[in-house]
Structures are given as C-alpha cells and as structure tokens.
C-alpha cells in the first residue's frame, strides 16, 4: 500500500524500467530483521528520478546499472530507526532525514546480469568498512565504490561520508518532510 499523500513522489520503476529494486525495509533482509514498509515500490521525488535516469544511462554504456535498496522512508520508520540506533553517523534524527523527504537513495552497482558488484561492505554495515574513506577493502571494491560515487555526484547527488551506498539529492534540505 502506498502512502495516502504522495506529495510529488513517483515509483522509480515507472521512470527507469531497467533499474533493479530490492527494497530492504519491505522485507526481513535488513538490520532490524523484519519488514517495516507496507509498500514495495521505490518512491522518490521526480527530481531524484531524473538524476538517477541520467546515472543509469551513463552506467549502461559501461555494461552496468543501478540497484536501489531504499528511497522514500515513512517518518514513522525513520523514528523507529532513530530510536533503535541513535547514531548520527548511520541514522538521521527524524527531523533531519533526507529519506523522509523522498530525496535520498541507497544504491549499488550491478552488472548486465543484475549481479551486485563487490563493494567495501555489505548494506547497512554500521562500521568503518562502510565509510567512503575506508581503505581496508580490496582494489576492486574501492574502484566500484568510487565509480558509483563518480556517476552519482556527476548527476546531482551528494554521498554520505559514513555510507558508501547513501546519496542525497543536492539541496535535499530545502524539501519538506513527507508524512
């Protein structure tokens, strides 16, 4: 079920049919271990979808694509995360969260077959392995993470220093929280 008032949100698959969506929080495959969303569509603002479409076009030229793990996050889920973790390095307080505005995405790279490329850590790893400046992973993982960051920043996104997979639309703080 989708939120009642979408306030400008779009289903990313309607904008980019080739993007792979695996919403981690709509399943039990997440750090909490239970499904937290009552919808399975990845929702984002139109501006985010436009930027991701450009990233996808560039990646396709390299035989790659995007897999998206999270987009819009309901405020109640963000509050639950904050109450569970309360560490600003990995979870934003609800009133500061870009995910609740539809302006943030958690993504990784996939090959032509849709298989995830090796990255410095797993998704939702709350350790230094997830940090963008972590250099303890192998050269392939570092190169893949750098490639993802290159294309995302090229098309208007800003990476979170503590999560290689998290990107915010530039100017995200100017958008309202969607309730």
Is the confidence at residue 147, as pLDDT, over 70?
yes
Query: What confidence tens digit (pLDDT) does each residue in 37-57 have?
Result: 989 999 999 999 999 999 999
Look over the chain and give the mean of its residue pLDDT values, rounded to a whole number.
Answer: 92
Neighbours of 57 (CB within 10 A): 13
Query: What confidence tens digit (pLDDT) does each residue in 53-67 have?
Result: 999 999 999 999 999
pLDDT-based confidence at residue 7 (cuts at 50, 70, 90): confident
Write out the catalytic residue numbers: 163
pTM: 0.93
User: Which pLDDT score is estimated for 1?
Assistant: 39
Contacts of 169 (CB under 8 A, 6+ apart): 45, 47, 48, 51, 98, 103, 104, 156, 157, 158, 175
Asked if 114 and 77 touch (Cβ cutoff 8 Å), the reply is: no
Query: What confidence tens digit (pLDDT) does each residue in 157-175 have?
Result: 999 999 999 999 999 999 9
Domain boundaries, the chain: 9-166
25 φ/ψ angles, rounded to the nearest 5 degrees: -90, 0
Residues above pLDDT 90, as percent of the chain: 79
The three-point CA angle 12-104-41 to 5° equals 30
Give the CATH architecture of domain 9-166.
2-Layer Sandwich (3.30)
């Amino acid at each position: 079920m989708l939120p009642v008032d979408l306030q400008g949100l779009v289903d990313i698959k309607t904008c980019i049919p080739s993007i792979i969506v695996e919403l981690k929080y709509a399943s039990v495959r997440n750090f909490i271990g239970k499904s937290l969303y009552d919808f399975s569509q990845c929702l984002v603002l139109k501006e985010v979808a436009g930027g991701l479409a450009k990233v996808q076009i560039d990646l396709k030229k390299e035989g790659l694509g995007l897999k998206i793990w999270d987009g819009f996050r309901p405020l109640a889920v963000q509050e639950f995360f904050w109450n569970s973790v309360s560490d600003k390095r990995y979870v934003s307080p609800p009133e500061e969260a870009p995910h609740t505005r539809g302006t943030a995405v958690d993504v990784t790279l996939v090959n032509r077959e849709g298989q995830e490329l090796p990255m410095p850590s797993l998704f939702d790893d709350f350790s230094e392995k997830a940090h963008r400046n972590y250099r303890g992973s192998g050269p392939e993982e570092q190169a893949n993470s750098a490639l993802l960051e290159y294309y995302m920043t090229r098309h208007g996104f800003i990476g979170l220093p503590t999560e290689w997979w998290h990107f915010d639309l530039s100017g995200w703080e100017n958008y309202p929280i969607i309730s």
